[in-house]
Amino acid sequence: MVEGHSLTSLGCALLLTLVVGCSAEDGAPAPMGAGGDAAGGDAAGGAPTAPAPSGALYASSVESFTPGDGAGYNAEELPDIVLGAPRGGGQLKGSLDVLSLGAGGEIVLGFGDHGFVDGPGADLVVFENPFWPEGDASQVFAELGEVAVSEDGRTWRSFECDTDGDDEGRFPGCAGFTPTLQYDAEALVPLDPEKSGGDAFDLADVGLSHARFVRIRDLETLAPGGTASGFDLDAVGVIHPD
Domain boundaries, the chain: 9-42+56-238
The confidence score (pLDDT) of residue 187 equals 93
What span, in angstroms and rounded, lies between the C-alpha atoms of 201 and 140?
19
Average pLDDT over residues 33-59: 46
The confidence score (pLDDT) of residue 176 equals 95
Decide if 40 contacts 218 (C-beta within 8 A): no
Strand locations in the chain (E): 32-33, 61-66, 99-100, 106-110, 116-117, 124-127, 145-150, 157-158, 199-201, 210-211, 213-218, 232-233, 235-238
The confidence score (pLDDT) of residue 152 equals 96
Q: Is 222 helix (H, G, I), strand (E, B) or coil?
A: coil
Task: Give the amino acid at 135.
Answer: G
CATH of 9-42+56-238, one of 3.90.1150.10, 2.60.120.260, 1.10.12.10, 3.30.1330.40: 2.60.120.260
Flag whether pLDDT at 193 surpasses 50: yes
What span, in angstroms and rounded, lies between the C-alpha atoms of 70 and 15?
12
Average pLDDT over residues 180-204: 95
Give the chain's mean pLDDT: 80
pLDDT, one tens digit per residue, over 104-128 is 999 999 999 889 999 999 999 999 9
The confidence score (pLDDT) of residue 78 equals 95
Burial class (CB in 10 A: 0-12, 13-18, 19+), 241: buried
